[in-house]
Structure formats: C-alpha cells, structure tokens
Amino acid sequence: MDILLKKEQQINEDDFMEKRVKRQLETKVIRKRKTYEASMKVLMLASTFLTGLLVVFLISYVLIKGIPNLSIEFLITKPSYITEKIGILPDILNTVYIVLATLFIVLPLGVGAAIYLTEYASNKKIVGAIEYAAETLSGIPSIIYGLVGMLFFCQFMGMKTSLLAGAMTLVIMNLPTIMRTTQESLKTVPQSYREGAFGLGAGKWRVVRTVVLPGCVDGVITGCILSVGRILGESAALLFTAGFAHAVNGLLDGLSAPGATLTVALYVYAKEQGEFGVAFAIASILMMLTVLINLAATMVGKYFNKKKN
Amino acid sequence: MNIISARNLALWYGDNKALKEVSISIPEKSITAFIGPSGCGKSTFLKTLNRMNDLVLSVRIEGTVEYAGKNIFDPSVDVNELRREVGMVFQKPNPFPMSIYDNIAYGPRTHGITNKARLDEIVEKSLRDAAIWEEVKDRLKKNALGLSGGQQQRLCIARALAVEPKVLLMDEPTSALDPISTSRIEELAEELKEKYTIVMVTHNMQQAVRISDYTAFFLLGELVEFGETEKLFSQPMDKRTEDYITGRFG
Amino acid sequence: MANKATAFLIGWRIEMKKTKIIENIIHGIFLILGLITVASVLLITIYLVIAGIPAIREIGFFKFLFGKNWASTAAEPVFGILPFILTSVYGTAGAIVLGVPIGFFTAVYLSKIATGKMRETMEAAVSLLAGIPSVVYGLVGMLVLVPGIRKIFHVPDGASLLAAIIILAIMILPSIIKVSITALDAVPKEYEEASLALGATPIETYFRVSVPAAKSGIAAAVVLGVGRAIGEAMAVMMVSGNVPNMPSLFQSVRFLTTAVASEMAYSSGLQQQALFSIALVLFFFIMLINVTLNFFMKKEGKEA
C-alpha cells in the first residue's frame, strides 16, 4: 500500500517535472519568436526610414545649395570669359533640342516596333529575338552607348561630335522604353475592337490605323515622360557624342554643332572647373525637373488607369 | 463534451452583416458539417473559429466564441497559439512552393522545434496520419507543387496535423478535387475524427450525409438548424432546411 | 449584264491585289521597325568586338586582363586592367552588400505591411531616387561623402572606393526595391493564409513563406542591381578619385567604366584602342549579367 502510494507520488512528480520542463521550453520558444519578430520589425522600419531619409536629404540638400545660386540672368545668358560670369542658356537650349530630336526619331521607331510585336508578328522566333534585344539594350550601361555612338554616329556616319549624334545615341537607349510602354497600352485595347473592325472588312493596316493607334496614346505619353527623364539625366552617353560646348544656336544649327546638355554641363563645371555653385544651381534645376517628371508620370498613370476602369 | 461554443456571434464586413447572432456548440472528436447555399455565411463562420477573419480590414465582430472554455476574442488570447490548436485546411490546396518535407516541418519549426530527429519523426507521423506517407516517402525533398491536386490537399492536411491541433477546420476541402481524391479525403476525415474534432464546410450535401455526425444549415448569415446529421436530413425541424435539402433552392 | 459583272469582278480583283501589295509593304515596314532593336544590339556588339580586339591582340590577352599596372601615357606605356576589373568587382560587391539588405527590408515592409498613403508616398520617393541624374549623385558625393570619409576615417583623400560603394549602394536601391516589391506582391495570398493558419505570426509568414516564394524575383532584383552598379560611370568618376590603383577601401581607384570615360577625350592610337578593349570587357560582364537576369526572370515567370 505504502509502496504503491509512493510510486504514484513518484509518477506525479515525474509528470510535474516534465510539465515544468515543457513550460520552460515553451517560454524559451516564445521569447525566441518574440525576438525574431522584433528584430525583423526593426530592420524593416530602419531600412524604410533610411530610404525615405535619403530621398529627403538628397532633395533638400541640392535645393538648399542650388536655389540661392539661381537667377534670371543665370538662366538667360551664356558663359562669358570677359565678364567672368556663367550662364546656362546654351545648356538649357541644348537639352531642349536633344530632347526634341530624340523623341522625334524614337517615337515612330518605338511605336512601330511595338505595333509589329503586338499586331503583326506571327513568327515566335522573331518576337523572341526582338524582345531579347530590347531587354539587352536596357541593360547596357550608358558609357558603352557613348562609346559606340562615338564610333558609329560621329565617326562612321560622319556626324562629328554633335547634338544630333548624341540624340541618335539616345534614340537607341530609349527605344526599349517607348516599345515597352506602347506594348503595355496596346495590350489593353480589347481584342473585340480589332475583331469588330476586321469583321467590317477592314484590312490590317486600316485596323491598325483606326483602332490600334488611338489605343496606344497613353503608352506613348507615358513613354515620352520616362524618356524625357532619362535624357535629362543622361551624361555618360553624351560626353563623347554631343560634346561639351556652350554656344547658343537655333534648333537646326544646334543639332549639327556640339553642345553640352544640363547634366554634362553640371559634370564639367563640378569636376573640371570646380564651379560648385554653378553645379548646384544646375543640380537644383535637374532635381526640380525630376520631381516634376515623376509627378507627371504618376498623374498620367493614374489618369489612364481611371479611364480604363 | 463541446470543444467550441459560439454565443450570439454577429459579424459585419463594413456595413454588410454577414453573420446574424449565431449560437452553436460543436462536440469534440466528431465531424460537423456546415451546409447552405453560397454566400450564406458558412465559410465566414468557419474562418471566425480560428480568427482568420482578423486579416480582413473592415471586419467587425460581436458575441463570443469559446474554445476550451475561453473566449477567443479575449485580448489575453494569443491568436497564433489559437491557430496552432485550431488548424485549417483550405478550399484550394495551397502547399508552399518548397519541398514536401519543408512544408510539413514549417509549422513545427515555427513553433520552435529545431531538432532534426524530432522533425523527421513529426514529418513521418503527420504524413502517415494524412494517409500520404506511402506515396511521398521516397521524394520528401521534391517540390510539393509537383504532386497531384488530391495529394496536395492531403499534404496540406498533414501540414495542419504537424502542429498537433485539437480542431481541424476544413473549408470545402474537396471542391477542387476529382471524385477519387474526394473519397480519399473523406475516408481520411473519418479516420481523423478519432483524434481530432473536424469542422467542415461543404457545398455537397451527399458529402455531409456520408461523413458528418452533426450538420449545421446556414442561410443568409443565419444558423437555421443544427443537429445530428441523420436527424436533420430525415426530419428537418425548419421549413427552410427542408426546402434546401430537398433541392428546392440552392 | 454578264459583261458588267465580269468587269466588276476584274476590277474588284485588281483592287484586292493592290490592297494586298500595300498591306505587304506596310507589314514589311513594321517588321523593319521591329528589327531595329536587334540591329542595334548587333551593331553595338560588332563595333565593340572590332574596336576592342586589336589592342588585346597587341598587348596580349593575359598581360591585358591580368596586368597590374596601367600607365597609358608613360614613355613606355603599360596596359594592365586588373586594377579596373577588381575595382569594378569589389565596388559592385560592396554596393550589393550595403544596398541589398536595405532595399530588401524596405521592399518587404512596403509590399506587406505599409498601406495606403504610406506605401504610395514611399513608392513615389523610391521612383524619385531612380530618376535623380547620376551627376547629381556624383556632385552630392563629392561635397558630402568625400569630405565626410576624410574626416571620419582620417585618410588623406576621401575620394575612394568606399565613397563609390556608398554612392552605388544608394543608386541601386530603387531597382532592388521596385523589382522585389513586384515579386513580393505576386506571391499568392493562399500561401500566406496557410502559414497564418498554422499559427505563424504575420512577420514570420512574410519572411519564411512570402520571401522564399518570391526568391527568383528578388534574385532578379539583385542581379539588376549588379548590372546597374557595374555600369555606372559618372557618379563613380566624381567620387572615386580616378587613380588606377589596385582596389583598397580608402584608396583612390578607377572602375572599368571610369577608365573608359576618363581617358577617351584625349586618347589616340593604342591607348584609345585599349580603352575600347576595356569597354569590351565591361560589355562581356554586362552580357553575363543579362543572361543571369533572364534566367531568374524566366524562373519567376514560371513560378507565378
């Protein structure tokens, strides 16, 4: 009897010990999970905060350093060795010219390529090759574009160092962007529209002209905005193709002459001439343009999304 | 012995009242089937039982659900612990895109088991319990997405069993499966009720009749009738239940 | 009557034929437009190979790639580009080590936790980061980072590999964040539900289920970042000091990209050809990265 009781007690004690060990283990696990949870949360918040902080810092630093150096005179004069004053009118004009020339050439090419891919192409190999090529193009660094642009457009095609050569180089760089955005918007043109037009006996070209082309307007606009952003920010590809002259020209003369865009001018003023005030003034202009372009892109995107739904 | 009891449970999605004062007590170690036309609230109610509805932002809940004698909406309840004890199997088989082994070991690992031998043991036991061990034992390291739909669903059941739940909630677990896989899952459910309490939403009344011990009929967010399956189907108390089970609407 | 019908038919046929010819011409035009991308890639490849091979041949393959000295303007010019290759590799690796974790955690936060305005604002900020011209990064780097490094680490010149790494890490952040967010957003809700139903917390679910499920996309993001970092020229040129040293964290260094950019303006003869060869080496790296990127993208496409 006594022995039995003892045994039972023993069992109970064992049971108790086991439970205690289990509970200890459980609290350990809970603590571990809580630590994991907390550290992940901290890492995520810290990273996001850091990213946000970087953006705020970059914008405000550039604007604070740059805006005081901006003046009307700075914007509408050219640099002069006589008065020892620097104006960026030629750089602004060059930028405008190069943007216009690039878009003028790249739009028909990119839109045409996109139409070919979505409307005409039936051979899978060709489509694959084109898409692969477009992807490859978007991965090539701008310095390589600059080099090949210099060899091909400036030397081989005889364009010399000129805004046009620079624009041609930028055309190749921006081709994938225009292609992609146009393709995206063409995908949203309902198949039934095309079928409807075909059903009425329209030829392919007519369908493309009347149904498909109007449908890609939003893609073209988005593509233009993105391309303008890219052209504004480009420097390495333009250094050896468009050069870095600061002369004021008209559009047509300008295209055949060398000239620095705002970004190239920024580089030259900062790195070669140590004119940081000027560099920051240009940087602040570029920064404002970047913000504007981003806003425009988001707004256009939202507008088209709304229209679609 | 009832393991889950809901008292006047009401639920809103935004302004839309999806559950109207549902009260029900679900007996332990049995299969309870929830039936009713789509949109009647049966899935919503099921998801309330392990608080998966918490994930919906606009949801608002009133009333209580007692599990093991404690209100699951009480702030002191650890929702992760609740979900460990009240497991869930979904309508569409949803194995993780990882190996079969890692799928099963995911739960135990999450709850702190790191010992390899212990994990091996759990994996084998869970797969055996879900009647899929023989089919997958030679390819535990292979990606689970390579299994057939029926196998995936049994894998998901095994995954749910691996954390040693008390209750298994099944949300139309066979609706995406072929008849053969369906009957295997049904057999499995009947085996599992020896150890677990199973609550199953089904759109298929034959299934409810075949395997469940108790049936609850929902209509427009209301629990119309609840009782032993045999009784509910042979002598329904409510006219609406009768109309539904005789196929007058659905 | 019969005549009229025949005449109509013939007319109709001619009309059809004409339309068909026009359609074919238009098809041809579009085909050519489509092939311009392919032609551009071929053009770039061929030009780089033609321009890049002679110098490698003249200098010697191994001497060029593994030579530790670069003295292009010396009386006895030496063309060894190992310093540039290693600088590019180390610089990129450093940027990845620094940038990927920050970008990754930001992406998980934005994709899984941040909602509404917060997510929208941060995504706009990240896009903005992507849109800032590299010369602006370079400028800020020159005036903030370079003096900062000099003061903090007490080195004679802050224009160094470290400065370049930090700038590159910031510049690759947007690609990493955006591509990772896309991959994480595409993870099916069912996986996450299953994990929560097993009693995992949301954060455990994101890192143990969502992230592994999106791993190809996240890998693609990293590879994309590698491509961006290795190809960046201007910002790096402005902060790295541009001296052909073997890479070391606090020393002025020269990258593959900056090696091309810094001497191109005044180079000629073998020196210029050697610069083309450097571009060819860079291009080879980029192609390698493209192939890797494609591999991950395809995998991601299959998994989704």
What pLDDT digit, counting tens, does each position of C222-238 carry?
999 999 999 999 999 99
**C48 plus C90 within the same structural domain:** no
Average pLDDT over residues A47-53: 96
| Domain count along chain B | 1
Instruction: Please give the Cα distance from B26 to B21 (Å, whole number).
Output: 16
Angstrom distance (rounded) from CA A49 to CA C102:
10
Do both C51 and C162 map to the same domain? no
* 8 A C-beta contact, residue C61 and residue C80: no
Q: Are both C120 and C46 inside the same structural domain? A: no
Asked if C286 has any chain B CB less than 8 Å from its own CB, the reply is no
Mean pLDDT in chain A?
88
Closest by CA to B159, choosing from B115, B116, B127, is B127
Report, as an integer, the average pLDDT of A133-160: 92
Task: Name the percent of chain C lying above pLDDT 90.
Answer: 73
Task: Return the DSSP state at B167.
Answer: E
The answer to whether the Cβ–Cβ distance between C132 and A233 falls below 8 Å is: yes
Confirm if B44 and B100 have CB atoms less than 8 A apart: no
Q: Is residue B77 part of a domain?
A: yes
Does C89 reside within a domain?
yes
In a domain, B209, yes or no: yes
Interface of B with C in 151-170 (CB under 8 A): 156, 159-160, 163
Q: Please determine, for residue A217, whether its predicted confidence score (pLDDT) is greater than 90.
A: no
Q: The domain spanning residue B189 has which CATH number?
A: 3.40.50.300
B131 found inside a domain: no
Query: Would B106 be classed as within a structural domain?
Result: no
What was the pLDDT predicted at A4?
Answer: 64
pLDDT at A2: 65
- Is B112 an 8 Å CB contact of chain A? yes
User: What b/e readout covers A144-172, taking b as 16+ CB neighbours within 10 angstroms?
Assistant: bbbbbbbbbbbeeeebebbbbbbbbbbbb
C265 has a pLDDT exceeding 90? no
- Residue span of the structural domain in which B29 resides: 2-94+167-245
* Local confidence band at C148 (pLDDT 50, 70, 90 cut-offs): very high
pLDDT digits (tens, 9 = 90+) for A90-107: 899 999 999 999 999 999
> Does C197 contact B at CB distance below 8 Å?
yes
User: What is the DSSP track for chain C?
Assistant: -HHHHHHHHHHHHHHHHHHHHHHHHHHHHHHHHHHHHHHHHHHHHHHHHHHHHHHHHHH-HHHHHH---EETTSSS-EE--HHHHHHHHHHHHHHHHHHHHHHHHHHHIIIII--HHHHHHHHHHHHHHHHS-HHHHHHHIIIIIHHHHHHHHT-S---SHHHHHHHHHHHHHHHHHHHHHHHHHTS-HHHHHHHHHTT--HHHHIIIIIHHHTHHHHHHHHHHHHHHHHH--HHHHHHSB---PPP-TTS-B--HHHHHHHHHTT--HHHHHHHHHHHHHHHHHHHHHHHHHHHHHHHHHHH-
- Tell me how many residue pairs between chain B and chain C have CB atoms under 8 A apart: 66
Composition of chain A by helix, strand, coil, percent to 5:
80, 0, 15
Judged against a pLDDT cut of 80, whether residue A26 lies above it is answered with no
Check C199 against B94: CB less than 8 A apart: no
- Which tokens belong to B90? 């979904």
Q: Are residues C89 and C52 in the same domain?
A: no
Considering only CB atoms, A43 lies closest to which of C105, C135, C137, namely C105
pLDDT at A153 over 60: yes
Residue C204 C-alpha, separation from nearest chain B C-alpha, in angstroms: 8
Complex prediction ipTM = 0.90
What average pLDDT score do residues A153-180 get?
Answer: 93
C177 inside domain: yes
* B47 conformational bin, left if phi > 0, alpha if psi -120 to 50, beta if neither: alpha
Of A124 and C73, the structure prediction assigns the larger pLDDT to: A124
Given this model, what pLDDT does residue C19 score? 80
- A78 neighbors A87 (Cβ within 8 angstroms): yes
Alpha-carbon torsion (A50, A56, A57, A58), positive or negative: positive
- Confidence tier at A11 by pLDDT (50, 70, 90): low
Instruction: Indicate whether C67 belongs to any domain.
Output: no
Q: Which helix (H) or strand (E) holds B88?
A: strand B86-89
A5 has pLDDT over 80? no
Contacts of B139 (CB under 8 A, 6+ apart): B100
Q: What is residue C303's predicted lDDT score, i.e. its pLDDT?
A: 57
In a domain, C283, yes or no: yes
Whether residues B97 and C303 touch (CB distance < 8 A) is answered with yes
Q: Which residues on B lie below 8 Å from A28 (Cβ)?
A: 112
Mean pLDDT to the nearest integer, B78-83:
91
Q: Chain C contact for A297, CB < 8 A?
A: yes
Tokens of residue C276, six digits:
């083309």
**Residues C99, C18: one domain?**
no
Tokens of B61: 């809940």
Residue C70 inside a domain? The answer is no
Contact indicator for C79, C90 with CB cutoff of 8 Å: no
Gap between the Cα atoms of A50 and C122, Å rounded: 11
Provide the pLDDT confidence category of residue C24 given band limits of 50, 70 and 90: confident
CB < 8 Å to B106, chain C? 195, 198, 200, 208-209
Whether the CB of B118 is below 8 Å from some CB of chain A: the reply is no
Top-confidence residue, A305 or B199: B199
Kindly identify which residue of chain B lies nearest to residue A25, measuring between CA atoms: B112
Domain that holds residue C45: 2-59
Residue C150 confidence (pLDDT) above 60: yes
- pLDDT value at residue C149: 95
Q: Tell me the range of A240-249, B135-144, C263-272 where mean pLDDT is highest.
A: B135-144
C5: Cβ–Cβ under 8 A, 6 or more apart, which residues? none
Q: Which are the contacts of B96, defined by CB distance < 8 A and separation ≥ 6?
A: B102, B103, B106, B144, C191, C194, C195, C209, C212, C213
CB atoms within 10 A of CB A206: 15
Q: Can you give the pLDDT at residue A3?
A: 67
Q: Is the pLDDT of residue A21 over 90?
A: no
Mean pLDDT in residue range C262-274: 85
Mean local confidence (pLDDT), B180-206: 92
Q: Which pLDDT score, from 0 to 100, does residue A75 have?
A: 85
Residue C289 binned pLDDT confidence (cut-offs 50, 70, 90): very high
Q: Percent of chain A beyond pLDDT 70?
A: 95
Task: Indicate which of B111, B115, B118, B163 best probes the interface with A, i.e. most A CBs within 10 Å of its own CB.
Answer: B111
Structural domain tally of chain C? 2
CA–CA distance, B129 with B122 (Å, rounded to integer): 10
> What is the pLDDT confidence band of residue A1, given thresholds at 50, 70 and 90?
low
Q: Which residue bears the tokens 């400036």? A: A154
Inform me whether the pLDDT recorded for A308 exceeds 80: no
* Minimum CA–CA partner of A27 in chain B: B112
Domain assignment present for B112? no
The dihedral of CA A264, A265, A270, A271: what is its sign?
positive
Q: Identify the band that residue B249 occupies on the pLDDT scale cut at 50, 70 and 90.
A: low
CB-CB neighbors (< 8 A) of B112 in chain A? 25-26, 28-29, 32-33
CATH value at residue C296: 1.10.3720.10
Nearest to C134 by CA among C254, C240, C232, C241: C232
pLDDT, tens digit (0-9, with 9 covering 90-100), for C106-129: 999 999 999 889 999 999 999 999
* Predicted local distance difference test score (pLDDT) of residue A30: 85
Find residue B61's DSSP bridge partners. Answer: B11
Residue B170: helix, strand or coil by DSSP?
A: strand
pLDDT level of residue B154 (50, 70, 90 thresholds) = very high
Identity of the residue in C109, C143, C230 whose CB atom sits nearest the CB atom of A47 = C109
Is there a contact between C233 and A236 if contact means CB atoms under 8 Å apart?
yes
Longest dimension (CA), chain B: 56
**CA gap A1, A3 in Å, rounded:** 5
From C11, C29, C59, give the residue that closes a domain: C59
